[in-house]
Chains A and B, each alone.
Chain A
Amino acid sequence: MSEQPMFEHEVATLIVQTLKLKIDPATIQPDAALFGDGLGLDSIDALELSLAISQTYGYQLKSSDPDIKAIFSSLRALANAIVKNRTK
């Protein structure tokens, strides 16, 4: 089990709170899939999560972004994308 760096933990907490998941944020594996087989999230979750990310970090997600699948592929990828694109 790899440890979550601080910012990944912050994003994991945002995911758990936004989507009302009954899990400890620290147990989300940084490299595991968020959607489908991993945490089992769906497109409604993606939309709610995108709003939380936009409000917290000022980063608006777009499906037309060629990297969108990669961005949502794991906690680590999502955290990295937020770091790169955040405006607040």
Chain B
Amino acid sequence: MHDTPLIGPYSPDDVLALEPDGPRTARQFVSDVARLAESLPDRLTVINLATSRYEFLVGFAAAILRRQLTLLPQSRAVQTLRRIAGDYPECYALTDRDEKIDGIESVAMQQRQGLAPWPDEIPLVPLNQVVAIAFTSGSTGQPMPNKKTWGALTAVAHATGSRLGIKIGDRASVVATVPHQHMFGLEASVMLPIMHGLVMHAGRPLFPADILSALADVEGRRILVTTPLHLRACMTEGVRMPPVGLILSATAPLSQGLAQEAERHFHTEVHEIFGFAEAGSVAERRTTVGDSWRPLDGVRLQSSERGWTVETDYLPAPVLVPDRMSVDAQGLFVVHGREADQINVAGHRVSLGDLNQKLLEVEGVQDGVFFLPEEVSDFVTRLMAFVVAPGKTSEEIQRALRTHIDPVFLPRPLVCVPSLPRNATGKLPQESVRELARQWLAGQGHGT
């Protein structure tokens, strides 16, 4: 296995990132990474919680040079971090300057003084070095680790760039609304720019007005890495944006209508990425052209007894796709929805079995089930839960749940019911839960 450079084709004075107080050149970046790498504690794993995308990248790169694994928690919720820290007891958290995480040794990013000289050679990283672990939710309730090699991250960055027509050194700027600790965020807003010599905006704009000012901050061709939720918010607000050269959306399927509206509003093409934490980005489509996904170069789909799998040179073994899909003779595919147990809320995938298990573990809960309504909306559809817990209020159960599951999966609403419609064999058919939800929503005046 050979080694490849930590960053793509930058000259020392090329801008690599844009922080609120000014640009960071490639020279500054290489110096920042070297200085931080010297000061990191001697450990195997690190949870990188830097808020700034640039600081995250500095921490990620420094950890790579020290052969430390960066853990990518599904959320920043303290209970999630503690759960992961429990599984990796020697890990530490790399945090913003003034932040401390209770119960996890925290190392603050330090102010780095001065500039180290530009090295003769950009540091090299072995393609087979495991550099990150992304977590997914298994039906057992334990987070499942997915190892990411340097080779996998760089291969996906190059394949995505070539599919989207991003040229090495074309000096485009990437503005992203997605978190950099999320798999898609890491691939599209961190690895994609640094492998192509692009400028990365260090912020993470949330509100439409923030997205506008982040886009206005950068020069050259603008690439917006975002989600259907943020696009819908921009349309709803009707904020006039500076010209955008390309929009890349992921984490939830984009509707045809919103994609068309976004292409008109931003005067650009909207492309979507299909991927999942176990394999990373695997396919792309321009939504307005059709439903079919085209696998990225080097991605092969194979049919197996358990469903479709993804095979690539950089994955150690075939990876099962968590969705039901059909593949045509050209290798293009259409996705029909998640496998029964798997659901996705705001880009976070979870096993319903796992959530139900956690619900049943709450003291006083006799029976309970989570349900994801099938709403057609470009906003985030939240889970509902029906719970049998005599003597408990829904607030009490919510409070208990909050310590066990990620906030994004907390039910809206949690409805207390006298019993669940289990059948004679004690099973709870999905159809019965759907009917229960329909009746409840109708009773609330939300039904249609």
A binding-site residues for B, Cβ under 8 Å: 19-23, 40, 42-44, 46-48, 50-51, 54-55, 60-64
Contacts and interface: CB of A to CB of B under 8 A. Distances in A.
Contact of B207 (A20, A55, A60): A60
Nearest to B204: A63
A42 B380 CA distance: 12
Contacts of A48: 379-380
Nearest to A23: B395
Q: Majority SS of interface residues in chain A? A: loop
A21 B394 CA distance: 11
Given A47-B233, A62-B207, A63-B210, A40 B398 contact: yes
Nearest to B394: A22
Contacts of A40: 398, 402, 407, 410
A62 B210 contact: yes
Contacts, number: 57
B448 interface: no
B365 interface: no
A62 B208 CA distance: 8
A64 B414 CA distance: 34
B209 A60 contact: yes
Nearest to A60: B209
A46 B408 contact: no
16 contacts: A19-B412, A20-B446, A21-B412, A21-B413, A22-B394, A22-B412, A40-B407, A44-B229, A47-B207, A47-B233, A50-B233, A51-B236, A51-B237, A60-B209, A61-B209, A64-B213
A28 to B, nearest CB: 12
Contact of B346 (A21, A44, A46): A44
A55 B402 CA distance: 31
Nearest to A35: B407
Given A46-B206, A46-B207, A47-B207, 9 more contacts: A20-B446, A22-B413, A40-B402, A44-B408, A47-B206, A54-B237, A62-B213, A63-B210, A64-B213
Interface string B375-412: 00001101000000000001100100010000110101
Contact of B206 (A19, A21, A43, A54): A43
A42 B121 CA distance: 43
B380 A44 contact: yes
Contacts of A51: 233, 236-237
Nearest to B232: A51
Most central of B207, B208, B413 by chain A CB within 10 Å: B207
Q: How large is the interface on B (under 10, 10 to 19, 20 to 34, 35 or more residues)?
A: 20 to 34
A64 B210 contact: yes
Given A63-B205, A63-B210, A47 B402 contact: no
A42 B407 contact: yes
Contacts of A47: 206-207, 229-230, 233
Interface string B155-180: 00000000000000000000000000
Contacts of B237: 51, 54, 60
Nearest to A52: B236
Most central of B233, B379, B402, B407 by chain A CB within 10 Å: B407
A82 B413 CA distance: 27
Contacts of A43: 206
A20 B413 contact: yes
B34 interface: no
B347 to A, nearest CB: 10
A35 to B, nearest CB: 9
Given A40-B398, A44-B229, A55-B236, A62 B412 contact: no
B415 interface: yes
Interface string B413-439: 111000000000000000000000000
Nearest to B209: A62
Nearest to B446: A20
Nearest to A20: B412
